[in-house]
Structure 1
Amino acid sequence: MKKLLKNKYAFTGLLIVAFYSGAFGQELKKINESIFKVGEQLDYKMKYGIFTAAEATIKVEASDKKFGDQPAFHLVAEGKTAGSFDLFYKVRNRYESYVDQNTLMPYFYTENRREGKYRHTDNVTFDQKNKKVTANKGSYTYKGEAFDFVSAYYFARAIDVSKLKQGDTFDLQYFLEDSFHNMQITYVGTETVECSLGKFNCLKFSPAIIPGRIFRKNSKLYLWVTNDKNRIPIKAHVEVLIGSVSMELKSATGLKYPLNPIKD
């Protein structure tokens, strides 16, 4: 159980696995109009089998920092263990990103992770012009587009996926834990999915995972995102060596567009 909670995909990674942005294998373009606004807040619960293991919140705030003359969003993601899981292995993680309101590219990222006895903090500055990030442990260069843990999620929601075909794949590049990571995501198709807020028409994606101590050899990670102007992840599911882990949206407030569940 402890290994499960410590695994990125099983906890914080499962929430932000909406990352279908970054260095794409095919050319995808961002929608011109922003699909979220200051005040938006999404709350999720993560379950291990039938038990609630963790809770997470992601929200958009007005920026309290200045980056030249460009307006910025302050994006915040917080995750924590819940119930008996909190007694067994306490997690308190907070991730923050400041992004350009027009391009959604990150200026600055900070994280504060408390996972059991493990502690990790980092402050990361993005130099988009020179393709370089500066973190606590040094500077790193990259090619293409790069994001942090949080900005990747919000940029992904603004991608124009209208030309995607079933089976298309693309890659994500993001900076986390003093290095760049890549993840390949497959577009599976459309599907109707139900959560506590109702039934929704969704886009279905399958990010690649690595089998090992946590996942089965044939495990698949699936993510469902509302097929509307909001592009909100409402559900994720993955099988692990013993049982399964799922993530579900439990509340959504301050949305730019109405959330319209399917009426029976």
Structure 2
Amino acid sequence: MDFRLKDFNLQKAKMKKYFLIIILIAISCSKSFSQDMNYLGEPSFKVGEELSYKLKYGFFTAAEAHIKVMESDKKFGDSAFHIVADAKTAGTFDIFYKVRNRYETYVDKKTLQPYFYTENRKEASYRHSDNVTYDHNTDKITADKGVFPMKGKVFDFLSAYYFARSVDISKLKIGDKFTLQYFLEDGIHSMEITYAGKEKMDCSVGTFNCLKFNPTIIPGRVFRKSSKLYLWITDDKNRIPVKAHVELVVGSITMDLTGVKSLKYPLNPLKQ
């Protein structure tokens, strides 16, 4: 094999390890303001909604993600949504570094607070699972790695995103910063996100008026010191991410909305 081609394939394999991290960050960015703004009292989504995405590393389709909302098959409170996200590598990336990950969350239909979260990750030879219970009576989170105190609103990345789609953003101003609290594997973490204004953004489904957000990312093996991450969300009642872009140490990754189904409100792309 040509050494340049071999080096290129190894580099692609290395970057694939971080694609699901990008999905987590990108999908969760829009929920940043959920800690500071009021819940509108009604979900912006409904049972049956499905969203599909593709992640591209340069010109290559590297991974695909699919998210759907269902009725809960488990008993939590009065009633609950069951939200499932499946992510997998695609194309040649699937040959070098196969990923098959599933994330699930159960949230209260009235408050959109999480009851239970589970994940099952298969990334090449790596295997990881976690089960997280949110007890809102005792303010404790119980996960596979222990019990953790819970202060304020704390989400997994799926429940947080769906909560954020249903909050009041009418007073949001450019430059406003927010801190997101989310639980991941071994504790509660926080992320600062800046609202960057409104822009028109193209995706595979069409062109939309969008809200733009810029989360703070930590430089290191994956991100340069100057790397930027941006997320564009439809500026309508649906509030769905249509595009995300992040710069890496080598190259960049783009997340693109490729399919929608059974939205609660009409999705109206701009006329060209």
TM-score by length of 2: 0.92
Q: Any conservation in 1 of the 2:105–2:159 contact (CA below 8 Å)?
A: yes
Paired position in structure 2 for 1:74:
82
Paired position in structure 2 for 1:32:
41
Alpha-carbon displacement from aligned partner over 1:160-211 (angstroms, at most 9, x marks no partner): 1110110000011111112211111100000000111111000000111111
Distance, in Å, in 2 between the alignment partners of 1:59 and 1:252 is 10
Pairing 1:41–2:43 present: no
Q: Which has the greater radius of gyration?
A: 2
Distance, in Å, in 2 between the alignment partners of 1:177 and 1:245 is 24
Paired position in structure 1 for 2:230:
222
User: Counterparts in 2 of 1:75-114, with a 5 A limit?
Assistant: 75-114=83-122
Distance, in Å, in 2 between the alignment partners of 1:62 and 1:173 is 26
Displacement of 1:20 in angstroms is 2.2
RMSD (Å) for aligned C-alpha atoms? 1.5
Select the structure that is richer in helix.
Answer: 2
Runs of 4+ deviating beyond 6 Å: none
Query: Which of 175, 184, 193 does residue 176 from structure 1 map onto?
Result: 184
Shift in alpha-carbon separation, 1:22–1:138, aligned structure 2, 3 A: farther
TM-score by length of 1: 0.95
Paired position in structure 1 for 2:18:
7
What is the one-letter code of the residue matched to 1:248?
A: D
What is the one-letter code of the residue matched to 1:59?
A: K
Displacement of 1:228 in angstroms is 0.2
SS of the aligned residue for 2:28 comes to coil
Displacement of 1:67 in angstroms is 1.4
Query: Which of 58, 75, 89 does residue 67 from structure 2 map onto?
Result: 58
Distance, in Å, in 2 between the alignment partners of 1:14 and 1:51 is 20
Paired position in structure 2 for 1:161:
169
Distance, in Å, in 1 between the alignment partners of 2:134 and 2:61 is 36
Displacement of 1:137 in angstroms is 2.1
Displacement of 1:150 in angstroms is 1.1
Q: Any conservation in 1 of the 2:34–2:180 contact (CA below 8 Å)?
A: yes
SS of the aligned residue for 1:17 comes to helix
Q: Any conservation in 2 of the 1:18–1:156 contact (CA below 8 Å)?
A: no
Q: Any conservation in 2 of the 1:41–1:60 contact (CA below 8 Å)?
A: yes
Paired position in structure 1 for 2:199:
191
Distance, in Å, in 1 between the alignment partners of 2:99 and 2:145 is 23
Displacement of 1:114 in angstroms is 0.7
Distance, in Å, in 2 between the alignment partners of 1:14 and 1:144 is 21
Count of aligned residue pairs for this structure pair = 261
Shift in alpha-carbon separation, 1:209–1:177, aligned structure 2, 3 A: same
Paired position in structure 1 for 2:271:
263
Structure 1: unaligned runs, 5 residues or longer: none
